[in-house]
Amino acid sequence: MNFRKFRGRKRPNRENWFGFNYAQSKGTVAAFNEFLTEEEFHRIVELGTGKGELSIVFALYTIIRGGTFYTFDCKQARIAKEVLPRLGVSYKILDIFNSEKEISRLISDRGRVLLLCDNGNKPREFNTFAKYLKLGDVIMSHDYVPSPKFPGNGEICNADVEESMAKYHLEFSHQSLFNPLSWLCVRKCL
């Protein structure tokens, strides 16, 4: 397979590994490497595959450390379609809200889960699926800013998730690592 067809032009302040432009801030892959080296997850569930670049990182983690990786999106991207199945990833195109039962089983089954919300409606994703988390599970959301007044193009802020955080006993985690990269990171504590 010729992977050159997937390469794009380099963008400043964007992650670029092996010629692939990630829709992530510089340092995101290194931050996830640090986090995933420190934490142990049985399953990673990603809501919002995008082109699949970050999905490849999560797939490699589950191959190296053991575990399974599932990723869902509402539309198919070429890199994801061609690369993820080769890595043994369960990649499905579907409406995540119409598939809540299937996704909730992946979250609530035995074993520690990392849930990533990076689809089209991050507050709804977080608030819909947070209720299925177990003790020690982690939920993260991309394009995060602490408050709507914070500079940047945030799609989710503390006010969007504060009710779910209180109701489901969630606490901020790894803020110094992920906040500068626009990722919200929260752990289920009770």
Domains of the chain: 32-188 (3.40.50.150)
Contact 117, 111 (CB under 8 A): no
Q: Which positions ≥6 away from 73 have C-beta within 8 Å?
A: 48, 49, 50, 80, 91, 92, 93, 119
Neighbours of 132 (CB within 10 A): 21
Q: What is the pLDDT along the chain (190 residues), one digit of tens a residue?
A: 444 444 444 445 666 766 767 778 889 999 999 999 999 999 999 999 998 989 999 999 999 999 999 999 999 988 899 999 999 999 999 999 999 999 999 999 999 999 999 998 999 999 999 999 999 999 999 999 998 877 667 999 999 999 999 999 999 999 999 999 999 999 999 8
Whole-model pTM: value is 0.91
